[in-house]
A and B are shown apart, each in its own frame.
Chain A
Amino acid sequence: QSALTQPRSVSGSPGQSVTISCTGTSSDVGAYNFVSWYQQHPGKAPKLMIYDVTKRPSGVPDRFSGSKSGNTASLSISGLQAEDEADYFCYSHSGTYIVLFGGGTKLTVL
């Protein structure tokens, strides 16, 4: 299975909104509502930000939201803050026990 496709980088100014896409296929992102998103600051472990496409774990600000259309899932961040600068990875179930990660997107807050 191939990795999910994410843009290598996105950027935005404080207070603005950004969206990170995650494109898969009809066998993974398009087939299941089991997409999750992880935030990773340099040298730190990934942190779950969104699961099951749209659900937010407790403690994650509601500035973070997820959606899906066809084979593409998206993570949106509104009201950008400096602390949001990090790498973001998407992840999807792909049938039976298979899971796939995206290549990661570096978010820069200008």
Chain B
Amino acid sequence: QVTLKESGPALVKATQTLTLTCTFSGFSLTTYGMRVTWIRQPPGKALEWLARIDWDGDKFYSTSLKTRLTISKDTSKNQVVLTMTNMDPVDTGTYYCARMGHGWELDPWGQGTLVIVSS
């Protein structure tokens, strides 16, 4: 059974750096074709794709947030870490990680973690 779970601070201040960890089980990020993606959802709004890291170490970022995001993986711990610098109240929302296998679909998703950015 594949599961993912996000963890990180629930509250950060504006201008601070956010660090989120996605801990997963049931698959390995060293397996060909496996990928982990981060997505966020502001309250009451649509989903937004943020970043992706692949089994071979390739990294991809949202063009609008590229300068603020860094994604990395620790295959020994089955973790993917996302950092976002210079946080702003508009970054408030629920942050999800999800697995992307050989196809383009996201399945499954973690439960999400709510991050509130205070000014």
Q: Residues of A with Cβ closer than 8 Å to B?
A: 1, 3, 32, 34, 36, 38, 44-48, 51-52, 57, 89, 91, 93, 97, 99-104
Contact indicator B106/A45 (Cβ below 8 Å)? no
Residues of A within 8 A of B24 (CB): none
Contact indicator B105/A36 (Cβ below 8 Å)? yes
Contact indicator A101/B46 (Cβ below 8 Å)? yes
Q: Does B103 contact A (CB under 8 A)?
A: yes
CA distance A45 to B46 in the complex (A): 13
User: Which among B47, B60, B111 has the highest number of chain A CB atoms within 10 Å?
Assistant: B47
Chain B residue with the shortest CB-CB distance to A1: B63
Q: Residues of B with Cβ closer than 8 Å to A?
A: 39, 46-49, 52, 60, 63, 96, 103-112
Contact indicator A45/B96 (Cβ below 8 Å)? yes
Contact indicator A93/B46 (Cβ below 8 Å)? no
Contact indicator B46/A104 (Cβ below 8 Å)? yes
Residues of A within 8 A of B52 (CB): 97
Shortest Cβ distance from residue B45 to the other chain A in the assembled complex, whole angstroms: 8
Residues of B within 8 A of A38 (CB): 47, 106
Contact indicator B48/A101 (Cβ below 8 Å)? yes
Residues of B within 8 A of A93 (CB): 104
Contact among A44, A51, A99, A102 with B46 in the assembled complex (CB-CB below 8 Å): A102
User: Which among B104, B107, B110 has the highest number of chain A CB atoms within 10 Å?
Assistant: B104
Contact indicator A89/B107 (Cβ below 8 Å)? no
Chain A residue with the shortest CB-CB distance to B114: A43
